[in-house]
Chain A
Amino acid sequence: MVRYAKGAMALTAALLLSTAAVAQDKRVLKYNADYDPIPLAAMEALIADFEAANPDIDVQLNNFDHEGYKTAIRNFLTADAPDLANWYAGNRMAPFVNAGQFMDVTDVWEANGLNDALASAKASMTIDGKQWGVPYTYYQWGIYFNRDAYKAAGLEAPDGGVTWEQFLKNCEAFKAAGIDCVTTGSKALWPVAGIFDYLSLRTNGYEWHMDLTAGKIAWTDESVKKVFAEFAKLQPYVTANHAAIDWQDAAALLVQGKAANYVMGNFAVGTFKEGGMTNDNLGFMVFPEITPGIPRAEEAPTDTIHIPAGAQNVDDAKKFLAFVASADAQTKLNAALGQLPTNKNSTVAADDPFISAGFESLSSAYALAQFFDRDAPAEMAKAGMEGFQEFLVKPENLDAILERLESVRQRVYQ
């Protein structure tokens, strides 16, 4: 039985339901989540499967709206902890782990062979050598491009990837043709972080990027300037007024052929297709290699499920985590989500070129980064993304930006 309500109503509903469920003599598993309609349906199907396999457990899903959840979780973890809660991997879960609000689930990982099956996501679920939750989905980032725009500029579509030199050369051709080579909409800041992350991962590699987001590298360091030197090469070809538009507005530019490339996450494919693009003119490639020989790391923000420290029904919650982590459950769930399973033994739909390209790209990647605002602590992330945005508008301010970021770093990681 799956029930859900929105926001504040969820609490009352949960109270009413739990009394009803006790009467049915089933063990209740309370699950707080923040699904949009399509993911919600997918998760409901997974819960139905779980309940079929465990007829004595009743999962009660309280669905919050996405934005409200980010505030709500801070309250319900202390005030009225559920048995399961959605959150994100990487540094995003660090405040809850450090405050002792999430339960250590290393035993679930060990008992179910997840260390091997979820190897690609393990690093991002680990703090202090322990695992604090289970990932159930992620999606790839990369460059989405409009083949028609390439044609309009007299260029060959970059299927299969191009070199960085070629990419920049193409940008010149686009500029001559009056097309934005790379588009982005940075009003909400985070889209520029995608560009920076890739430049950073490609210039100095995964370990360096992780050190940077962990605050171990000074922003005024020469190695950071190397990343911004590459950023400067790209800067003249990025949509001019990106700071005034949202990512969806930039997506419209790509759809209309006014822009050729978009560094984005796979969730944007839906938006591109709603705008009228098809598999024929929408293409995907991994971000080009910059420093030769650096192992290819990718961005793959991971969504996760955790057991709050105040959970009542820990045993069944762990059972649920093991189920969500299993290959079959992830195959089915992610087929419905249109995203990628984190379990390497899962399969993906072969008829979606973007999903299969993403699966290919991530499963062959050397390592996965979460995204700048999940890898770096919140305050550093905010300051960093503002810095990237400012750099894209005013590249001449670079030194001032880096000094500001360095002073934020010294405060945040002290």
Chain B
Amino acid sequence: MSSRSFNQRSLAPWLFLAPGLLMFLVYVIWPIGESLLLSLYDWDGLYNREGEFTGRFVGLGNFQELWSDPAFVTSLVNNVLWLGLYLLAVPAGLLIAIFLNQSVRGIRLYKSLFFFPFVISQVVVGLIFSWFYAPDFGLFYNLIEAVTGTGVAILAEEKYVTYGIIAAGLWPQIAYVMILYLTGLNNVAPDQVEAARLDGAKGWRMLWYVILPQLRPATFIAVVVTVIGALRSFDLVSVMTSGGPFGSSRVLSFYMYEQALSEYGYRMGYGAAIAVVLFAIMMVFISGFIWKMWRDETER
């Protein structure tokens, strides 16, 4: 571009991009830089009377501390659990979508009912599931009690608590994936299905070799939103357990909030260090997604 002379054609794209770029710079790039910088300091979030920054530079001290911090390890392990189990939403959503992709009377109503959990707020989902699991009066608790004789308070049991919360998270996530697949299924070419049928394909082979390849864009989006949803899981943990019992259901985003912003926190630097780690993990996935999208677009 530099070889060309300065003209409207080269200027126009930048002018159109400018508002977006400015926003991106101010609200994304700059805060990322700020967090990176802050993660090198030990700071309680207070300025002194003269308005000066009171933080102390500790280099990579915060990161060193992270590796020996059992709470951080718990959060990291839980995040991996979230990531793995949350992806179950993809096959489950596909299954329901295929099941609902038929024309019977009132199917629209069934579809909306299946989509319903995604419409309600995560906070409400969290509350509903806390009551579901609640000792003494919770449906699930009573069910376990009726079957095994002793009730299990899922949210008070360190072994089960994360699974309990993930189950709550899967409920709306499956609905979301389902709707993605339903729209995808609308675009499946009927002539290809017809042709496959003439060739004698049915059942699993039909699904695997004919339907799924055509659903690839939907699968891609479903995986992307599910992975990102799993990594930024915060609301459910916060509403259902606040990270408890004794910190066993923490995830990185919640631990970051706890350290930096909660009542017992205000370790801004340490919180920022957790944010940096979370950002690094997310970057792995996000760059993967972007790379794939870029490849798809250039190959076309």
> Are the CB atoms of A243 and B51 closer together than 8 Å?
no
> Are the CB atoms of A378 and B49 closer together than 8 Å?
no
List the B side residues contacting A309 at CB < 8 Å: 49
Q: Which of chain B's residues has its CB closest to A387's CB?
A: B246
> Are the CB atoms of A101 and B48 closer together than 8 Å?
yes
A54 within 8 A of B: no
User: B287 → chain A, closest Cβ, in Å?
Assistant: 34
Contact stretch, chosen from A70-78, A207-215, A324-332: A70-78
> Are the CB atoms of A378 and B266 closer together than 8 Å?
yes
List the A side residues contacting B49 at CB < 8 Å: 78, 99-101, 309-310
A389 within 8 A of B: yes
List the A side residues contacting B48 at CB < 8 Å: 78, 99-101
List the B side residues contacting A381 at CB < 8 Å: 264
B242 within 8 A of A: yes
**Given contacts A71-B261, A95-B46, A245-B135, is CB(A187)–CB(B244) below 8 Å?**
yes
B135: contacting residue among A78, A95, A188, A244, CB under 8 A:
A244
> Are the CB atoms of A244 and B263 closer together than 8 Å?
no
List the B side residues contacting A188 at CB < 8 Å: 242
**Given contacts A96-B46, A101-B48, is CB(A244)–CB(B264) below 8 Å?**
no
> Are the CB atoms of A378 and B264 closer together than 8 Å?
yes
**Given contacts A71-B261, A74-B45, is CB(A393)–CB(B266) below 8 Å?**
no
List the B side residues contacting A241 at CB < 8 Å: 135-136, 153, 156
Give bound CA distance, A263 to B232, whole Å: 37
B142 within 8 A of A: no
User: B300 → chain A, closest Cβ, in Å?
Assistant: 49
> Are the CB atoms of A379 and B267 closer together than 8 Å?
yes
B41 within 8 A of A: no
**Given contacts A74-B45, A187-B241, A244-B133, is CB(A404)–CB(B70) below 8 Å?**
yes
User: B296 → chain A, closest Cβ, in Å?
Assistant: 44
> Are the CB atoms of A244 and B47 closer together than 8 Å?
no
Interface centre among B51, B245, B246 (most CB of A within 10 A): B246
Number of interface residues of B (CB under 8 A): 32
List the B side residues contacting A71 at CB < 8 Å: 261
> Are the CB atoms of B46 and A78 closer together than 8 Å?
yes
Give bound CA distance, A96 to B54, whole Å: 12
Interface centre among B135, B136, B155, B245 (most CB of A within 10 A): B245
B246: contacting residue among A78, A100, A390, CB under 8 A:
A390
**Given contacts A78-B51, A101-B49, A187-B241, is CB(A386)–CB(B44) below 8 Å?**
no
Q: Which of chain B's residues has its CB closest to A377's CB?
A: B264
**Given contacts A74-B45, A393-B245, is CB(A243)–CB(B264) below 8 Å?**
no
B247 within 8 A of A: yes
List the B side residues contacting A202 at CB < 8 Å: none
Give bound CA distance, A49 to B133, whole Å: 51
Could you give, for residues 1-34 of chain A, a 1 whenever the CB lies within 8 Å of some chain B CB and a 0 otherwise? 0000000000000000000000000000000000
Give bound CA distance, A310 to B50, whole Å: 9
Could you give, for residues 231-255 of chain B, a 1 whenever the CB lies within 8 Å of some chain A CB and a 0 otherwise? 0000000000110111100000000
Give bound CA distance, A74 to B51, whole Å: 12
> Are the CB atoms of A378 and B265 closer together than 8 Å?
yes
Interface band, chain A: 20 to 34
Give bound CA distance, A77 to B265, whole Å: 18
Give bound CA distance, A243 to B247, whole Å: 11
**Given contacts A70-B263, A378-B265, is CB(A244)–CB(B134) below 8 Å?**
yes
A171 within 8 A of B: no
Could you give, for residues 251-283 of chain B, a 1 whenever the CB lies within 8 Å of some chain A CB and a 0 otherwise? 000000010010111110000000000000000
List the A side residues contacting B46 at CB < 8 Å: 74, 77-78, 95-96, 99, 101
**Given contacts A71-B261, A95-B266, A378-B266, is CB(A393)–CB(B156) below 8 Å?**
yes
A227 within 8 A of B: no
Could you give, for residues 151-171 of chain B, a 1 whenever the CB lies within 8 Å of some chain A CB and a 0 otherwise? 001111010000000000000
List the B side residues contacting A390 at CB < 8 Å: 245-246
Q: Which of chain B's residues has its CB closest to A102's CB?
A: B49
> Are the CB atoms of A373 and B156 closer together than 8 Å?
no
List the B side residues contacting A306 at CB < 8 Å: none
A382 within 8 A of B: yes
Q: Residues of B at under 8 Å CB distance from A?
A: 44-49, 51, 54, 65, 70, 133-136, 153-156, 158, 241-242, 244-247, 258, 261, 263-267
Beyond A95-B46, A96-B46, A99-B44, 13 extra complex contacts between A and B, CB < 8 Å: A99-B46, A99-B48, A99-B54, A186-B245, A187-B241, A244-B153, A244-B156, A378-B264, A379-B267, A382-B265, A386-B244, A390-B246, A393-B246
Q: Which 8 A-B pairs have the closest CB atoms?
A: A244-B156, A243-B245, A382-B264, A241-B135, A243-B156, A390-B246, A241-B153, A378-B264
List 24 A–B pairs whose Cβ atoms lie within 8 Å, in order of A's numbering.
A74-B45, A74-B46, A74-B266, A77-B46, A78-B51, A95-B44, A99-B46, A99-B48, A100-B48, A186-B245, A187-B242, A240-B153, A241-B156, A244-B154, A244-B156, A309-B49, A379-B267, A381-B264, A389-B244, A389-B246, A393-B158, A393-B246, A404-B70, A411-B65
